[in-house]
Amino acid sequence: MEFDLTEEQKMIRDTARDFATREVEPKAALLDEKGIWPTEFVQKMGELGFMGVAIPDEWGGSGMDTVSYVLAMEEISRACASTGVIMSVNNSLFCDPVLKFGTEQQKREYLVPCASGAKLGSFALTEPMSGSDAQTMVTSVETQGDDLILNGSKNFITCGNHADFVIVFAVSGRDGKRLKHHALLFPTDLPGVTKSPPDEKLGIHAAHSCTLYFENVKLSKEHLLGPEHKGFKVAMTTLDGGRIGIAAQALGIARASLEKSIVYAKERKAFGGPIANLQAIQFMLADMATQLDAARLLTLRAAWLKDRGIRHSSESAMAKLLASEAATFITHKGIQIHGGYGYTREYGLERHYRDARITEIYEGTSEIQRLVIAAHELRD
């Protein structure tokens, strides 16, 4: 694995950093407080090429690589985790599987507009009674003549309220003991598709999620993404890449907390000098910096493997596991260093703390990541 970034990778990192610092960060707290969808930032990310970073030019993307995507994701998420996860969903959970599994027609119809930022995609796997155990989903698709009829619901769908297109996973009976899973790709404005109001959540308030309802939605076999009955493979393959995006989001949240804590420790006076002189504070900062750096290295390794077409299920799980738990630890310690001020909105630590918590849950809980890693280690 090479540790030196290419000039192109440095360029996209620096572009993302400049955009995030100048435009996103000054408005992030207000967006969070009011729960405002960041329309302006989503549009600008499309213009900058951040909505399809690793998608080839011919399909509307930037033609970069996954390492570049990670670098940009960290910068955007450092400023606003809500804006970061919108970028992550469109890149990792929508564009990537359409590129891998889509037909030429699907790529023209769905990938090009989403990778260019003209449209927005979403990914609908979770159900009210089917989260970590995705194989038990009950959303169904039935064949009626030449039509496929979709019924059911999906919840906690990030970007669902605003998405133009969605990938939905559904079942259609059994193949022996196993359910037949299908991946379906279609516009969200079809008859029979309805969206709930945005969920009320602990964090990432500006990145709206909702429940999607499907009542006798009429589709065709042209809406199948990937081979028939292979929807579960599409979902799991997609999540391998998606976990890299969430790891990068967690890095950004953690880094924001560490940077603010360093500045505060140097400025805050107590016991005759800056609290940065106190060993108790130094130990916390050292632990925070070490966990952040370790998580970043694991995330970049997973991205590097993905770029080379090497299987990375375990490595992606490791990256998400460590990065998400590091983000929770670092934001917790950041509040501790700030004391009472950390508990208020003044310094933004409480926002980072709330935003970090979801990274241990979505796209596979920490417990699921441990199962993935253990299965890899125990294989014959």
- pLDDT tens digits, one per residue of 13-59: 999 999 999 999 999 999 999 999 999 999 999 999 999 999 999 99
CA separation for the pair 177, 180 (Å, rounded): 10
Share the mean pLDDT of the chain.
Answer: 96
Integer distance in angstroms from the first to the last C-alpha of the chain?
26
Q: Is 363 a catalytic residue?
A: yes
- Looking at residue 133, its pLDDT comes to 87
| 70-105 confidence digits (pLDDT tens) | 999 999 999 999 999 999 999 999 999 999 999 999
| 205-218 confidence digits (pLDDT tens) | 999 999 999 999 99
| 234-278 confidence digits (pLDDT tens) | 999 999 999 999 999 999 999 999 999 999 999 999 999 999 999
**Domain annotation for the chain: domains and CATH numbers:** 7-120 (1.10.540.10), 122-230 (2.40.110.10), 233-378 (1.20.140.10)
**Closest by Cα among 209, 221, 275 to 103:** 221
- Looking at residue 174, its pLDDT comes to 67
- Looking at residue 340, its pLDDT comes to 97
Q: Determine the Cα angle at 236 with ends 235 and 239, to 5°.
A: 90
- Looking at residue 221, its pLDDT comes to 95
Q: Out of 315, 350, 360, 363, which one is annotated catalytic? A: 363
183-216 per-residue burial string, b: 16 or more CB within 10 A, e: under 16: bbbbebeeeebebeebbebebbbbbbbbbbbbee
| 163-222 confidence digits (pLDDT tens) | 999 999 999 976 666 789 999 999 999 999 999 999 999 999 999 999 999 999 999 999
Q: What mean pLDDT is predicted for residues 226-230?
A: 93
pLDDT above 90 for 145: yes
- Looking at residue 176, its pLDDT comes to 60
> Position of tokens 């429940």?
211
Q: What percent of the chain has pLDDT over 90?
A: 94
